[in-house]
Amino acid sequence: MAGVAAGPVVEWLRRRTPTGARLAVVAVAVVGLFVADPVPAGSSPLRVSCAPGTVPVLVAGGSRVVRVRRDARGRARCAPAKVTSLPAPGPAGGAQLGRVADSLATALRIDPAVRARLERRLGRRRVARLLDVGLSSWRSRVAVAAAARTAGRRGRAAGRQTETFSKDGVSVTLGFGLDEVSAGGKLGYTAGATVDGSISREGLEKLGGDTAKGLPKELRGAKLSVDLRFEDLPSACPDGAGVVAGTLRASGLIRVTVTTTGGDSSVTAEAEVEASYRGKVGDDARWKTIDDVDVRTRFSLGATGRGTETWRARRTGSGFGREAITDAKDGAATRQAIERDAGQLAPGRGGIWGPQGGINWSRGASLWDLRSVANVKGLIATSVANYLLTLAAVEYVRKATLPRLEKHWYDDEACLKLDAAAADRTISPGGTTTITARDARAADGTPVPASLSASGEASVAPDQAALPAAGSAAFTLTAPAARPVKAAWKVVALSRAGKRTVTGTLMDRSRYRVTLALAGTATLATHDASADLAGVLLAEPQDGTPQRWTASGPVSWSNIVFTPKIPCTYGDPVAGGVWTVTITDVPPEQIQLTWTVDEATRVNASAFCPPSAVIPDQVGPRPIAVAPTTFTLPAAGGTRQLTGTYAGGEGSFSSDGTLKVEPETG
């Protein structure tokens, strides 16, 4: 159960709060207990003073009279809002849109007189059910839920999902959209939901149930419109100071329009929440605190024939840690966690403002004018709602936003930049080389200090080092004593800008000698041909991980023979081509080799046919469909058999041979 208390009336409020009520709705349950009657003369002073961040404790007495709670000395009591629990924040867009809808419910309760205009025309039950259609029905619809699940599972935009349903004079179209953003230095998502409904007179009658009073004769129907928006687009990476900044933005609007023979009248409620913050990352690349929290809320109410009233509030705070309120194991632990977070709020900053004045807490003790009870009630409701939304925003950042970002900069290593390389490309058995790490940089390019840890085969010394900003650190890698040598190394950097791992492998193989030998034939209608193809490449090591060797060069052809099947002779053969080899190290003791030939790898000849015809480009052998082109061998080398046949419009071709790999050590 979520609950709110203001001063000594905690239990009284709890007994009047429905079980399972949502956060923002419960926040203004306090206001629902206050009545609109003015404070009688003599029951309390017309003004009371409260410390910054606190509100007067009002209680309802007999005969629906509002009075100020006082202590034994007769002094007015003031207290901050107190929260007894919070709903667990969910990372899905649908859950956050639900919080926005709850804020609209809050706006509708700040001034009961606005909602009362609807209730006088439609009846209290009809209004409650009509608002439920706009604020709650969409949450459980199949299309919306499916869209949210699809986006969460696939990790990309779900797109716009819509669904329309009609029943008993109520026609509603629901819309839901979710777009994940991972560009422009941002990492988060935006979500939106809309509800557009049309309710006939018959539909309104059925919404009231059997016991509801009849509708006025002039009433024809009603229209309902809801628009909800949520945005969570923080910086994807910490800056050079270890700060990741973000702003949560939520907005909602609900409008109910009643159509009569005399015209339309409407009631509109709007809610806006903007919560900015700065997450602080420690030198171990884990986020530590949520600082500079600034939560601003705005609730607006308007109706036909009545001006729009706006209620605003602001709270700030810093130093919120990783421990979440919603992780508490029981009620007592939850209350302690809430008190802990509440202690991080700055009581002397921010304030609350309504249509008839407000309170700026930065000016010190505030005077509350009790002659305008409606304004006092609205200010208290706004203050309580802002207080709850502030705690909820911090909890969301703590449980959803920062874990998502930390995975990006820590687990995915997508932010910190680090240069690290070995001084040599090869290493002999038992030999040594220097591994140098340098220039750790935040995603924004700012040099940052980092703590380094190093490991390798057979050993790396030292195993830890401090890397100053814009500086370097050196490690000595000692290779294993046995051949073939494979000395793998790894350097891990942790800093306030993220985590980065750089790896490499050194071997005693300075290069590989690769020898290709193929015997090819070609069978055509006019002639047969045969030739031998050969190639030798020295694959040189390349920078990067995993270790790679590459080479490219010409092939050679020999033993070229063309045998005619027609009264012609063949001569002037033309042969050539280029082949390429790429060798990649495959732990623990293998290599993967890929070889290719270009289109020019072939033999052609000219046909000389009497009396004087010369026909060039007569097709001869070519390595078509020879396989395998990619295979593995031991790191110490080896030989692989190659073969291939192809039959097409020109004729048939076949090749057989070997590819031999030999390491050359240094």
Domain extent, residue 238, equals 4-411
Q: How many domains does the chain have?
A: 3
Q: Is 19 helix (H, G, I), strand (E, B) or coil?
A: coil
pLDDT of 357: 81
Say if residues 389 and 28 touch (Cβ distance below 8 Å): no
Q: Is the pLDDT of residue 28 over 90?
A: no
Q: Do you know the residue count of the chain?
A: 666
Residues 571 and 483 in one domain: no
The CATH number of the domain where 494 resides is what? 2.60.40.10
Q: Is the pLDDT of residue 568 over 90?
A: yes
Residues 404 and 427 in one domain: no
DSSP state of 320: B
Task: Identify which of 390, 305, 543 has the alpha carbon closest to the alpha carbon of residue 27.
Answer: 390
Task: Identify the band that residue 381 occupies on the pLDDT scale cut at 50, 70 and 90.
Answer: confident
pTM over 0.85: no
Question: What is the rounded (10 degree) CA torsion for 590, 591, 592, 596?
Answer: -150
What's the distance, CA 500 to chain centroid? 20
* pLDDT one-digit tens code per residue, 597-634: 999 999 999 999 988 889 999 999 999 999 999 999 99
Q: What is the mean pLDDT of the chain?
A: 83
* pLDDT one-digit tens code per residue, 413-423: 999 999 999 99
Residues 575 and 501 in one domain: no
DSSP state of 304: T
Task: Identify which of 520, 24, 488, 74 has the alpha carbon closest to the alpha carbon of residue 272.
Answer: 24
Residues 342 and 491 in one domain: no
Task: Identify which of 211, 206, 250 has the alpha carbon closest to the alpha carbon of residue 227.
Answer: 250
Stretch 324-338: mean pLDDT: 90
Label residue 474 left, alpha or beta by phi (over 0 means left) and psi (-120 to 50 means alpha): beta
Where b means 16+ CB within 10 Å and e means fewer, 374-387 reads bbbbbbbbbbbbbb
Stretch 461-473: mean pLDDT: 97
Residues 354 and 467 in one domain: no
Percent above pLDDT 90 for the chain: 49
* pLDDT one-digit tens code per residue, 98-149: 777 777 777 777 777 777 777 877 888 888 888 887 777 666 654 444 444 4
Residues 56 and 186 in one domain: yes
Residues 424 and 404 in one domain: no
Domain end call among 506, 532, 566: 506
Residues 502 and 513 in one domain: no
Task: Identify the band that residue 493 occupies on the pLDDT scale cut at 50, 70 and 90.
Answer: very high
Half-sphere exposure of 432 (CA within 13 A, CB side): 7
Highest mean pLDDT among 69-73, 362-366, 455-459: 455-459
DSSP state of 212: S
In sequence order, the 6+-apart residues with CB closer than 8 A to the CB of 346 are: 53, 315, 316, 317, 318
Say if residues 580 and 596 touch (Cβ distance below 8 Å): yes
Domain end call among 489, 506, 523: 506
Residues 406 and 441 in one domain: no
Q: Is the pLDDT of residue 150 over 60?
A: no
What's 220-254 look like in SS3? Answer: EEEEEEEEEEEEECCECCCCCCCEEEEEEEEEEEE
pLDDT of 666: 53
pLDDT of 438: 96
pLDDT of 153: 44
Task: At 161, list the tokens.
Answer: 């999902």
Residue 409 or residue 120, greater confidence: 409
Stretch 348-370: mean pLDDT: 81
Range with lowest mean pLDDT among 48-57, 133-142, 523-532, 552-561: 133-142
Say if residues 173 and 164 touch (Cβ distance below 8 Å): yes
Residues 534 and 496 in one domain: no
Domain end call among 484, 506, 528: 506
Residues 94 and 156 in one domain: yes
DSSP state of 410: I
pLDDT of 65: 54
What's the distance, CA 129 to chain centroid? 35
Task: Identify which of 267, 249, 308, 298 has the alpha carbon closest to the alpha carbon of residue 106.
Answer: 298
Q: Is the pLDDT of residue 384 over 70?
A: yes
Residues 476 and 527 in one domain: no
* pLDDT one-digit tens code per residue, 180-233: 999 999 999 998 889 898 989 888 888 776 555 678 888 888 999 999 999 999
Say if residues 402 and 279 touch (Cβ distance below 8 Å): yes
pLDDT of 273: 94
Residue 237 or residue 547, greater confidence: 237
